[in-house]
Amino acid sequence: MRKTSKYIKVTKAVFEIAVRSGMPAHKSKYSKRIFNQWIWVTLLVLRQYERKDYRGFIEWLEIATPINEYLELKRIPHYTSLQKAAARLDSIWLRRIIARFVKERDSEETKLIGIDSTGYRLDHASKYYQTRLTLHGKKHNLSRKFLKSAISVELNTQLIAAFKQRRGPANDNLDFPNIVKNTHRAIKADIYIADKGYDSEENHKIVRESLKASSIIPPKYQKVPIHRTKGKYRKDMKRGYCRETYNQRAKIETVNSVVKRKMGDIVYSKKVRTQNRELELRYIAYNANRIVESFLFLKLRISTELK
């Protein structure tokens, strides 16, 4: 029996999850209906997965016969059509697609959510070029320009549940309330884990009082005695917490590493809107790849037929 290609599995996963997320097939009733939004999302995710530009991806798609047959493409789209579709995509639906992967994998296990941030380069200059500029005494600020992305990860499955993006550098605490609340809408977690960069009494209150969950965020200054530490929950952290549970947070570093190694650490788009879309599509590609590689594909009951 012939083994199903990994590309087909990823394609099926993205397409089916896009359908189940509630995303409408067409954004407007005046759409030409040659391609629907589910197909555009799938193609754009595959482009990120392959790390190709628009022209190169369309050339690759022309010879990807099994994918064309599964998506029942009436014709191969022009690369400019794919580029315009990426700009038109609504971020709300992309976030719902990302969260849907976690919802489909819902289980009775204690749900652990880890939160951390990382940066993506916005320049195209190589490290060698930047080093040569420095050696010749020329001023440059390329290293200061980056896209900061905070993500929440369901640690049992290592699937991304939610994220928040902004231009860096920026304080981690700015994004914590937003990403925690967005995560809670997608999955009712039991424990939220973050590193010392998110140490704040307000962050503990959001998790424990508003969301009725537990939080593990170690305090920054361990040498400061408890009686001089401000905040009820920060004092609790000084008294101790489960190290074994907190150590699960290292899995977030693995997720960030996989995304960057497989799809790159540079965001090539120039506009803010398309930069955000590019990173959102990478997270969808990561989640699809994760469920395929972790044999969660069958558990999600992904259909092999179009709806």
CATH number of the domain that residue 116 is part of: 3.30.420.10
Whether residues 175 and 253 fall in one domain: yes
Query: How far is it, in rounded angstroms, from Cα 64 to Cα 43?
Result: 12
Model pLDDT for residues 229-274, shown as the tens digit of each residue: 888 999 999 988 899 999 999 999 999 999 999 998 888 888 888 8
Whether residues 117 and 230 fall in one domain: yes
Whether residues 26 and 133 fall in one domain: no
Is residue 111 assigned to a domain?
A: yes
Which of 171, 159, 223, 226 shows the shortest CA–CA distance to 202?
Answer: 171
Q: Which residue has the higher pLDDT, 140 or 161?
A: 161
Whether residues 58 and 119 fall in one domain: no
**To 10 degrees, what angle do helices 91-104 and 176-186 make?**
60
Q: Which helix H or strand E contains 124, and what residues bound it?
A: none
Query: How far is it, in rounded angstroms, from Cα 125 to Cα 244?
Result: 41
Model pLDDT for residues 41-87, shown as the tens digit of each residue: 999 999 999 999 999 999 999 999 999 999 999 899 999 999 999 98
Whether residues 120 and 244 fall in one domain: yes
Whether residues 263 and 114 fall in one domain: yes
Q: Domain range spanning residue 135?
A: 107-267
- Answer yes or no: pTM beyond 0.85: yes
Q: Which pLDDT does position 136 carry in this prediction? A: 63
Is residue 96 assigned to a domain?
A: no
Model pLDDT for residues 6-27, shown as the tens digit of each residue: 889 999 999 999 999 999 989 8
Q: How many CB atoms lie within 10 A of CB 175?
A: 21
In the chain, the number of structural domains is 2
Whether residues 73 and 193 fall in one domain: no
In angstroms, what is the C-alpha Rg of the chain? Answer: 21
Whether residues 212 and 292 fall in one domain: no
Q: In this structure, what are the phi and psi dihedrals at residue 147, rounded to the nearest 5 degrees?
A: -100, 120
Whether residues 74 and 115 fall in one domain: no
Tokens of residue 239, six digits: 């008294």
Q: For the range 246-249, what are the long-range contacts, defined as Cβ-Cβ under 8 Å and sequence gap of 24 or more?
A: 246/193, 246/216, 246/218, 248/112, 248/114, 248/155, 248/193, 249/114, 249/116, 249/155, 249/193, 249/194, 249/195
Whether residues 166 and 260 fall in one domain: yes
Query: How far is it, in rounded angstroms, from Cα 98 to Cα 287?
Result: 7
